[in-house]
Structure 1
Amino acid sequence: MPLEEQVKTMSELNEGYNIVGLSQGNLVGRGLIEFCDGAPPVKNFISLAGPHAGEASVPFCSTDIICKLVDMLIKSAIYSKYLQDHLAPAGYIKIPTFEKDSILIPKETSLFGYYEDGSWSTILPAQKTRLYIEDWIGLRTLDEAGKVKFITLSGKHLEISLEDMKKYVLPYLKINQTTATLKTMDTSSSINKVTDFSKLEDLLMKTPR
């Protein structure tokens, strides 16, 4: 049964639910929000390091010739039916002639920012992109209503301190939370980090409702 149909049959979600997206899992969350008509409402979507505006290169590709060749071959055929069907990131990859050794390229994609058309050095913030200006997915509408929070955290990809988790994630997951909000987080440098998200469940159990 497709995921969009599964959530419609889950009685525990009838009054609405929250989504916490991790990396490309954010695209699954967005799929539920954007395309799942007739499903229970999503109260809060908390996005951590999601490739919302696209991915510019293959992550962790080093400077050696073999890796460069693989990167080039994948990019040249990224829109082929085979790769679209079998390579997980293919559906959102974009193709500038640029590469860096990191997960999100550019890291601003987690905040809906991306390279300016025709340039691989100038990065536009979300508010300067066509996606935002033309309101393709309702991001501008939500932002102007004060329902979007853009936050930059210390930490590499999906590395977040417990204090930041308590400050920026937990308040939106409380049972009595009713205000719908989209929170996007860029976790792009390194300091005081934690990658074990099983601790999130422990924190939730200890948080007063």
Structure 2
Amino acid sequence: MAALRWLCGLLLLLPLVLGAGNRTGPVPLVIWHGMGDSCCNPASMGYIKKIVEEKIPGIYVLSLKIGTTIIEDMENSFFMNVNDQVTQVCDTLTKDPNLQGGYNSMGFSQGGQFLRAVAQRCPSPPMFNLISIGGQQQGVYGFPRCPGESSHICDWIRKMLDLGAYTKAVQGRLVQAQYWHDPLKEEEYQKYSIFLADINQERGINELYKKNLMALKKFVMVKFLNDTMVDPPASEWFGFYRSGQAKETVPLQETSLYTEDRLGLQQMDKAGKLVFLGVEGDHLQLPVEWFYANIIPFLN
């Protein structure tokens, strides 16, 4: 009977063992789309998946879908608790036999910070390289232009953020409020932000967050040098407004996040693990040849 139970247990574990031990092909890639997008849009994430597969034959690419349908996936990029999204993704990655040996990740816009939360909270399976393309790592303090400038959704988001980004109702429902970082109300942000203030260690140090992020081989941050959507664009390189005002920005190295090394970024920087890339163009306007030359090497 004991031998039978042992055999049954082995059979249950076999898919995971094979996925981790017998992988001889390229490192798998997990991608997470941005606001107003979906996992499989042929003009965005579907296109990225296609060109990566063309450049790296045999690679397994998982484009994350939050929800059961494409429409739900798009809607959830506006209206769903981000912590719940990260938990769902962690569960998906844990159960995917193709990822058990580890994977690289690439997040677009808000997907870049969401995947960083995955790296910090869910070390298994291991994430090797994290590529944040236009990700607002220190949050935003404005939406000069969000997808569909005349759409009711964008107008509604602006109104809700103006009325009270840190109210319980708005924080729990509106995705963009959960990484709204008001430099004029730092104490309120640190106290009531349910997502960004947590992953940026604003309320105390979670040593596991720090340890897990430092386990990355490379943390690549792409900043769009002519960005008109992210305010401030410096957030894409982990910079932000100097506290108490909303005019002057400071680079990562001058922020308390770095000087206090709350996430281990200072140590990662000194070890050559942080990569800062700049590309001409507006938000997510990524030339394909630039992508091939500067991003594909981190996926090989």
Q: Fold conserved (TM > 0.5)?
A: yes
User: How far apart in 2 are the matches of 1:137 and 1:94?
Assistant: 18
CA distance in 2, matches of 1:74, 1:146: 37
**Higher relative contact order structure (alpha carbons within 8 Å, sequence separation ≥ 6):** 1
Partner of 1:15: 101
Task: For 1:182-201, list aligned pairs within 5 A.
Answer: none
Q: Which residue of 2 aligns with 1:106?
A: 232
Question: Secondary structure of 2:128's partner?
Answer: strand
Distance 1:132 1:148 in 2: 12
Give unpaired runs (5+ residues) of structure 1: 175-209
Alignment correspondent of 2:175: 88
State the partner residue of 2:280: 154
> Does structure 2 conserve the Cα–Cα contact (< 8 Å) formed by 1:115 and 1:121?
yes
User: Paired residue for 2:166?
Assistant: 79
Aligned counterparts, 1:116-131, within 5 A: 116-131=242-257
- The verdict on how the C-alpha distance between 1:75 and 1:146 changes in structure 2, with shifts beyond 3 A counting, is same
Provide the identity percentage.
32
* 2:88 paired with 1:2: yes
The equivalent of 1:57 in structure 2 is: 142
TM-score (norm 1): 0.72
Moved over 2 A (4+): 58-62, 67-76
Higher Cα Rg: structure 1 or 2? Answer: 2
CA deviations over 1:108-142 (Å, ceiling 9, x no partner): 10000001012222110011011111122222221
| 3-state DSSP of counterpart to 2:275 | strand
- Root-mean-square deviation (CA, aligned residues, Å) is 2.4
Q: Check 1:152–1:70 CA distance in 2 against 1; reply closer, same or farther (3 A cut).
A: closer
2:35 counterpart residue number: none
AA in 1 matched with 2:291? M
Counterpart Cα distance in 1 of 2:94 and 2:180: 30
Higher helix proportion, which one?
A: 2
Q: Quick one: structure 1 residues 18 and 150, their matched pair in 2 at CA, closer, same or farther if it must change by over 3 Å?
A: same
Conserved? CA contact 2:90–2:122, under 8 Å: yes
Letter in 1 for 2:119: I
What amino acid maps onto 1:17 in structure 2?
Y
Q: Match of 1:198?
A: none
- Distance in 2 (CA, whole Å) between partners of 1:4 and 1:109 is 25
How much has 1:2 moved relative to structure 2?
Answer: 2.2
Is contact 1:33–1:42 with CA below 8 Å preserved after alignment?
yes
Decide whether the 8 Å contact of 1:15 with 1:41 is kept in 2.
Answer: yes
Bigger shift: 3-12 or 69-78?
Answer: 69-78
Contact 1:34–1:137 (8 Å) recurs in 2: no
**Is the CA contact 2:183–2:243 (under 8 Å) kept in the aligned structure 1?**
no
How far apart are 1:19 and its partner, in Å? 0.5
1:27 positional shift:
2.0
2:153 is the alignment partner of 1:27: no
1:185 alignment counterpart: none
Determine helix, strand or coil for the equivalent of 1:102.
Answer: coil
Find 1:136's aligned residue among 241, 262, 266: 262
